[in-house]
Structure 1
Protein backbone atom coordinates (compact mmCIF):
# COMPACT_ATOMS: atom_id res chain seq x y z
CA UNK A 1 0.00 0.00 0.00
CA UNK A 2 1.22 3.51 -0.77
CA UNK A 3 2.60 5.54 2.10
CA UNK A 4 4.07 9.01 2.46
CA UNK A 5 7.14 7.47 4.08
CA UNK A 6 8.16 6.24 0.60
CA UNK A 7 10.15 8.85 -1.37
CA UNK A 8 8.74 7.79 -4.74
CA UNK A 9 5.19 8.16 -3.42
CA UNK A 10 5.96 11.58 -1.91
CA UNK A 11 7.55 12.73 -5.15
CA UNK A 12 4.46 11.60 -7.10
CA UNK A 13 2.14 13.50 -4.74
CA UNK A 14 4.30 16.63 -4.87
CA UNK A 15 4.35 16.50 -8.66
CA UNK A 16 0.55 16.30 -8.66
CA UNK A 17 0.25 19.17 -6.15
CA UNK A 18 2.46 21.34 -8.32
CA UNK A 19 0.05 20.89 -11.26
CA UNK A 20 -2.65 22.75 -9.31
CA UNK A 21 -3.19 26.46 -9.88
CA UNK A 22 -5.79 29.20 -9.44
CA UNK A 23 -7.82 27.71 -12.33
CA UNK A 24 -8.17 24.28 -10.70
CA UNK A 25 -11.79 23.54 -9.88
CA UNK A 26 -13.39 20.89 -7.71
CA UNK A 27 -15.13 17.90 -9.27
CA UNK A 28 -17.17 17.53 -6.06
CA UNK A 29 -17.54 19.14 -2.66
CA UNK A 30 -17.79 22.75 -1.52
CA UNK A 31 -14.13 23.81 -1.26
CA UNK A 32 -12.37 26.00 -3.78
CA UNK A 33 -8.70 25.44 -4.62
CA UNK A 34 -7.38 27.77 -1.90
CA UNK A 35 -9.59 26.20 0.77
CA UNK A 36 -8.47 22.70 -0.24
CA UNK A 37 -4.78 23.63 -0.14
CA UNK A 38 -5.17 25.30 3.26
CA UNK A 39 -7.24 22.35 4.54
CA UNK A 40 -4.49 19.95 3.50
CA UNK A 41 -1.75 22.00 5.19
CA UNK A 42 -3.82 22.00 8.39
CA UNK A 43 -4.24 18.22 8.05
CA UNK A 44 -0.48 17.72 7.59
CA UNK A 45 0.24 19.82 10.66
CA UNK A 46 -2.08 17.56 12.67
CA UNK A 47 -0.57 14.37 11.26
CA UNK A 48 2.98 15.60 11.87
CA UNK A 49 2.11 16.44 15.49
CA UNK A 50 2.62 20.18 14.98
CA UNK A 51 -1.01 20.96 15.81
CA UNK A 52 -3.10 19.01 18.28
CA UNK A 53 -6.88 18.78 18.35
CA UNK A 54 -9.10 17.11 20.90
CA UNK A 55 -10.34 13.68 19.97
CA UNK A 56 -13.90 14.46 18.84
CA UNK A 57 -16.76 12.85 20.73
CA UNK A 58 -18.14 11.21 17.57
CA UNK A 59 -14.62 9.98 16.85
CA UNK A 60 -14.41 8.39 20.29
CA UNK A 61 -17.63 6.54 19.47
CA UNK A 62 -16.93 5.52 15.86
CA UNK A 63 -13.36 6.45 14.89
CA UNK A 64 -11.63 3.23 15.99
CA UNK A 65 -14.30 1.18 14.18
CA UNK A 66 -14.00 3.25 10.99
CA UNK A 67 -10.18 3.28 10.86
CA UNK A 68 -9.71 -0.27 9.45
CA UNK A 69 -11.85 0.60 6.42
CA UNK A 70 -9.59 3.58 5.67
CA UNK A 71 -6.28 1.71 5.95
CA UNK A 72 -7.10 -1.80 4.71
CA UNK A 73 -6.25 -1.21 1.03
CA UNK A 74 -5.65 1.46 -1.61
CA UNK A 75 -9.33 2.10 -2.28
CA UNK A 76 -9.66 5.90 -2.58
CA UNK A 77 -11.56 7.78 0.09
CA UNK A 78 -15.10 8.22 -1.16
CA UNK A 79 -16.40 11.60 -2.24
CA UNK A 80 -18.02 14.02 0.20
CA UNK A 81 -16.71 12.41 3.40
CA UNK A 82 -17.37 14.98 6.17
CA UNK A 83 -14.46 17.21 7.20
CA UNK A 84 -13.41 17.70 10.78
CA UNK A 85 -14.65 21.07 12.05
CA UNK A 86 -11.11 22.08 13.02
CA UNK A 87 -9.91 21.55 9.46
CA UNK A 88 -12.66 23.52 7.71
CA UNK A 89 -11.32 26.66 6.02
CA UNK A 90 -13.71 29.59 6.09
CA UNK A 91 -11.72 32.18 4.12
CA UNK A 92 -12.39 31.95 0.39
CA UNK A 93 -9.13 33.31 -0.96
CA UNK A 94 -5.44 33.48 -0.22
CA UNK A 95 -2.05 32.87 -1.75
CA UNK A 96 -2.40 29.63 -3.69
CA UNK A 97 1.30 29.36 -4.58
CA UNK A 98 2.28 29.86 -0.92
CA UNK A 99 -0.16 27.19 0.33
CA UNK A 100 0.98 24.77 -2.36
CA UNK A 101 4.61 25.32 -1.33
CA UNK A 102 3.72 24.93 2.37
CA UNK A 103 1.87 21.67 1.69
CA UNK A 104 4.75 20.16 -0.27
CA UNK A 105 7.27 21.18 2.40
CA UNK A 106 5.12 19.48 5.06
CA UNK A 107 4.89 16.31 2.96
CA UNK A 108 8.69 16.25 2.70
CA UNK A 109 8.86 16.04 6.51
CA UNK A 110 7.59 12.45 6.40
CA UNK A 111 11.07 11.46 5.22
CA UNK A 112 12.33 12.09 8.77
CA UNK A 113 9.25 11.91 10.99
CA UNK A 114 10.28 11.00 14.50
CA UNK A 115 7.04 11.80 16.35
CA UNK A 116 4.78 8.77 15.99
CA UNK A 117 2.49 9.68 18.89
CA UNK A 118 -0.24 11.24 16.78
CA UNK A 119 -3.83 11.46 17.97
CA UNK A 120 -6.09 12.06 14.99
CA UNK A 121 -9.13 14.20 15.86
CA UNK A 122 -11.48 11.44 14.59
CA UNK A 123 -9.56 8.14 14.56
CA UNK A 124 -7.61 8.63 17.79
CA UNK A 125 -4.08 7.34 18.35
CA UNK A 126 -2.39 6.11 15.17
CA UNK A 127 0.57 3.87 14.43
CA UNK A 128 3.39 5.03 12.15
CA UNK A 129 2.03 2.84 9.36
CA UNK A 130 -1.50 4.19 9.74
CA UNK A 131 -0.17 7.76 9.56
CA UNK A 132 1.64 7.05 6.29
CA UNK A 133 -1.37 5.35 4.72
CA UNK A 134 -3.91 7.97 5.86
CA UNK A 135 -1.79 10.90 4.71
CA UNK A 136 -1.36 9.30 1.29
CA UNK A 137 -5.07 8.54 0.96
CA UNK A 138 -6.12 12.01 2.19
CA UNK A 139 -3.71 13.73 -0.21
CA UNK A 140 -4.77 11.52 -3.13
CA UNK A 141 -8.45 12.15 -2.30
CA UNK A 142 -8.07 15.93 -2.58
CA UNK A 143 -5.86 15.75 -5.65
CA UNK A 144 -8.52 13.62 -7.35
CA UNK A 145 -11.10 16.18 -6.25
CA UNK A 146 -9.20 18.88 -8.18
CA UNK A 147 -7.93 16.69 -11.04
CA UNK A 148 -4.37 16.89 -9.73
Structure 2
Protein backbone atom coordinates (compact mmCIF):
# COMPACT_ATOMS: atom_id res chain seq x y z
CA UNK A 1 0.00 0.00 0.00
CA UNK A 2 1.34 3.41 -1.05
CA UNK A 3 -0.25 6.70 -1.91
CA UNK A 4 -2.43 6.18 -4.95
CA UNK A 5 -1.88 8.20 -8.12
CA UNK A 6 -5.15 10.01 -7.36
CA UNK A 7 -4.01 10.91 -3.82
CA UNK A 8 -0.71 12.26 -5.11
CA UNK A 9 -2.45 14.38 -7.76
CA UNK A 10 -4.92 15.65 -5.17
CA UNK A 11 -2.11 16.62 -2.79
CA UNK A 12 -0.21 18.34 -5.61
CA UNK A 13 -3.31 20.28 -6.67
CA UNK A 14 -3.98 21.39 -3.11
CA UNK A 15 -0.33 22.37 -2.55
CA UNK A 16 -0.39 24.45 -5.75
CA UNK A 17 -3.32 26.46 -4.36
CA UNK A 18 -1.18 27.65 -1.45
CA UNK A 19 0.22 31.18 -1.70
CA UNK A 20 1.27 34.02 0.58
CA UNK A 21 -2.36 35.03 0.94
CA UNK A 22 -3.16 31.61 2.51
CA UNK A 23 -3.93 32.12 6.19
CA UNK A 24 -4.32 29.42 8.84
CA UNK A 25 -7.75 28.57 10.20
CA UNK A 26 -6.00 27.47 13.40
CA UNK A 27 -2.47 27.28 14.75
CA UNK A 28 0.45 29.70 14.61
CA UNK A 29 2.43 28.58 11.55
CA UNK A 30 2.43 30.67 8.40
CA UNK A 31 1.95 28.93 5.06
CA UNK A 32 5.66 28.52 4.31
CA UNK A 33 6.35 27.11 7.78
CA UNK A 34 3.51 24.62 7.29
CA UNK A 35 4.90 23.45 3.96
CA UNK A 36 8.33 22.88 5.54
CA UNK A 37 6.69 21.17 8.53
CA UNK A 38 4.98 18.73 6.17
CA UNK A 39 8.28 18.04 4.42
CA UNK A 40 9.85 17.39 7.81
CA UNK A 41 7.28 14.63 8.39
CA UNK A 42 8.77 12.73 5.46
CA UNK A 43 12.30 13.46 6.69
CA UNK A 44 11.21 11.93 10.01
CA UNK A 45 9.76 8.84 8.32
CA UNK A 46 13.00 8.16 6.45
CA UNK A 47 15.28 9.11 9.35
CA UNK A 48 16.97 12.05 7.63
CA UNK A 49 15.68 14.33 10.42
CA UNK A 50 15.43 13.01 13.94
CA UNK A 51 13.47 14.29 16.90
CA UNK A 52 15.31 15.49 19.99
CA UNK A 53 13.20 13.28 22.27
CA UNK A 54 11.54 9.91 21.88
CA UNK A 55 8.85 8.35 24.06
CA UNK A 56 8.18 11.55 26.02
CA UNK A 57 4.61 12.13 24.80
CA UNK A 58 1.97 9.49 25.47
CA UNK A 59 0.88 8.14 22.06
CA UNK A 60 -2.67 7.64 23.41
CA UNK A 61 -2.84 11.39 24.14
CA UNK A 62 -1.72 12.19 20.57
CA UNK A 63 -4.45 9.93 19.13
CA UNK A 64 -7.02 11.43 21.51
CA UNK A 65 -6.11 14.99 20.48
CA UNK A 66 -6.21 14.07 16.80
CA UNK A 67 -9.57 12.33 17.03
CA UNK A 68 -11.07 15.30 18.84
CA UNK A 69 -9.90 17.66 16.09
CA UNK A 70 -7.28 19.30 18.26
CA UNK A 71 -3.68 19.87 17.26
CA UNK A 72 -1.16 17.36 18.57
CA UNK A 73 2.18 18.78 19.70
CA UNK A 74 5.03 18.58 17.19
CA UNK A 75 7.87 16.33 18.33
CA UNK A 76 10.74 18.28 19.87
CA UNK A 77 12.97 19.27 16.98
CA UNK A 78 10.07 19.66 14.53
CA UNK A 79 8.27 22.75 15.84
CA UNK A 80 8.25 25.43 13.14
CA UNK A 81 7.05 28.24 15.39
CA UNK A 82 9.76 27.36 17.93
CA UNK A 83 12.39 27.46 15.18
CA UNK A 84 13.21 23.74 15.40
CA UNK A 85 11.89 22.67 12.01
CA UNK A 86 13.57 23.02 8.64
CA UNK A 87 13.85 26.72 7.87
CA UNK A 88 11.63 27.97 5.07
CA UNK A 89 13.29 29.34 1.95
CA UNK A 90 10.98 30.61 -0.79
CA UNK A 91 7.40 29.36 -0.84
CA UNK A 92 7.39 28.03 -4.42
CA UNK A 93 10.70 26.25 -3.80
CA UNK A 94 9.46 24.72 -0.55
CA UNK A 95 6.23 23.59 -2.23
CA UNK A 96 8.36 21.82 -4.86
CA UNK A 97 10.42 20.14 -2.14
CA UNK A 98 7.25 18.91 -0.42
CA UNK A 99 5.91 17.47 -3.67
CA UNK A 100 9.23 15.70 -4.25
CA UNK A 101 9.07 14.18 -0.75
CA UNK A 102 5.52 12.98 -1.41
CA UNK A 103 6.69 11.29 -4.61
CA UNK A 104 9.75 9.74 -2.95
CA UNK A 105 7.66 8.47 -0.05
CA UNK A 106 5.13 6.93 -2.41
CA UNK A 107 7.90 5.12 -4.30
CA UNK A 108 9.58 3.47 -1.28
CA UNK A 109 9.67 -0.27 -1.83
CA UNK A 110 7.72 -2.70 0.31
CA UNK A 111 10.78 -3.74 2.31
CA UNK A 112 11.79 -0.19 3.25
CA UNK A 113 12.71 0.13 6.92
CA UNK A 114 11.18 3.30 8.25
CA UNK A 115 12.70 5.28 11.09
CA UNK A 116 11.30 5.24 14.61
CA UNK A 117 8.43 7.64 15.21
CA UNK A 118 9.00 9.91 18.25
CA UNK A 119 5.55 9.12 19.69
CA UNK A 120 4.58 5.74 18.25
CA UNK A 121 8.00 4.04 18.12
CA UNK A 122 8.69 1.45 15.45
CA UNK A 123 5.59 1.28 13.28
CA UNK A 124 4.89 -0.58 10.08
CA UNK A 125 4.59 0.79 6.55
CA UNK A 126 0.78 0.93 6.60
CA UNK A 127 0.81 3.01 9.80
CA UNK A 128 3.38 5.44 8.31
CA UNK A 129 1.18 5.85 5.22
CA UNK A 130 -1.88 6.38 7.43
CA UNK A 131 -0.02 9.02 9.44
CA UNK A 132 1.26 10.71 6.28
CA UNK A 133 -2.26 10.97 4.88
CA UNK A 134 -3.63 12.27 8.17
CA UNK A 135 -0.80 14.80 8.59
CA UNK A 136 -0.99 16.18 5.05
CA UNK A 137 -4.78 16.45 5.11
CA UNK A 138 -4.72 18.09 8.54
CA UNK A 139 -2.28 20.81 7.51
CA UNK A 140 -3.69 21.43 4.05
CA UNK A 141 -7.14 21.86 5.63
CA UNK A 142 -5.49 24.19 8.16
CA UNK A 143 -4.85 26.53 5.21
CA UNK A 144 -8.20 25.96 3.52
CA UNK A 145 -7.10 23.71 0.66
TM-score by length of 1: 0.80
The aligned runs of 1:36-51 (5 Å cut-off) are 36-51=34-49
Q: For residues 120 and 14 of structure 1, do their structure 2 counterparts lie closer, same or farther at Cα, with a shift above 3 Å needed?
A: same
Give the alignment partner of residue 71 of structure 2, picking from 80, 105, 126: 80
Match in the other structure for 1:110: 105
Give the alignment partner of residue 135 of structure 1, picking from 109, 132, 135: 132
Distance 2:68 2:9 in 1: 20
Structure number with greater CO (CA < 8 Å, separation at least 6) is 1
Match in the other structure for 1:17: 15
> Which of the two has greater strand per residue?
1
CA deviations on 1:77-100 (whole Å, 9 max, x unpaired) are: 723322222111229863111111
Structure 1, unaligned stretches of length 5 or more? none
CA deviations on 1:13-52 (whole Å, 9 max, x unpaired) are: 1111111011110000011111111111111111133323
State the number of aligned residues.
138
Q: For residues 127 and 141 of structure 1, do their structure 2 counterparts lie closer, same or farther at Cα, with a shift above 3 Å needed?
A: same
Indicate conservation of the 8 Å contact 1:10/1:108, yes or no.
Answer: yes
CA deviations on 1:106-125 (whole Å, 9 max, x unpaired) are: 00012321323321111111
TM-score by length of 2: 0.81
Deviates more, 1:89-98 or 1:31-40: 89-98
Q: For residues 84 and 33 of structure 1, do their structure 2 counterparts lie closer, same or farther at Cα, with a shift above 3 Å needed?
A: same
> Which of the two has greater helix per residue?
1
